[in-house]
């Protein structure tokens, strides 16, 4: 079954953008200190750098991890598992917002468990194991 995953490309671009933001934050701190501006501006730069580093770590983790959070790639279940799928063997016995509900993989409409075809688009729903 196909699922939508956040892509590695957008995550890598986010990491590169975050590195540039960290560099800007460091330059900001240096310029503000040189100008003798109030300490609020230095604190702003430090917070900016810390948030940038956290964003770099998040995006690089998303790029390199096997079971990443994704919104842009469409992958087959044979390529990588979907952490939100109730049919995924690693999700057995777990509960969550999406687990236990049956959604059409084509249009996203919620369907009852016993339906074989989607009530909105009419396409055949995947069999439940």
Measured in whole angstroms, the distance separating CA 61 from the mean position of its chain's CA atoms is 10
Q: Residues 35, 39, 40, 42: what is their CA dihedral angle, to the nearest 10 degrees?
A: 60
Range of the domain at 7: 2-64
15-46 confidence digits (pLDDT tens)? 899 999 999 999 999 999 999 899 999 999 99
Residue 70 lies in a domain: no
Residues 56 and 88 in one domain: no
pLDDT at 65: 75
Residue 16 lies in a domain: yes
Q: What count of other Cβ atoms lies within 10 Å of the Cβ of residue 112?
A: 8
Q: What is the pLDDT of residues 48-72, one digit of tens each?
A: 999 999 999 888 887 777 766 555 5
pLDDT tens, 68-110?
A: 655 555 556 666 555 555 554 544 444 334 444 677 888 888 8
Q: Print the SS3 string covering 48-80.
A: HHHHHHHHHHHHHHHHHCCCCCCCCEEEECCCC
pLDDT at position 110: 82
What pLDDT, on the 0 to 100 scale, is given for residue 47? 94
Q: How many domains does the chain have?
A: 2
């Amino acid at each position: 079954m196909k699922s939508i995953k956040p892509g590695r490309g957008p995550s890598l671009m986010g990491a590169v953008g975050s590195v540039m933001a960290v560099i800007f934050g460091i330059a900001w701190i240096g310029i503000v200190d040189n100008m003798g501006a109030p300490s609020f501006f230095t604190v702003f730069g430090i917070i900016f750098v810390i948030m940038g580093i956290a964003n770099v770590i998040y995006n690089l983790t998303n790029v390199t991890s096997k079971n990443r959070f994704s919104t842009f790639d469409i992958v087959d279940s044979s390529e990588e598992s979907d952490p939100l799928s109730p049919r995924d063997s690693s999700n057995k016995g777990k509960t969550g917002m999406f687990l236990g509900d049956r959604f059409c993989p084509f249009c996203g409409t919620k369907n009852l468990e016993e339906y074989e075809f989607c009530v909105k688009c009419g396409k055949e729903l995947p069999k439940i194991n």
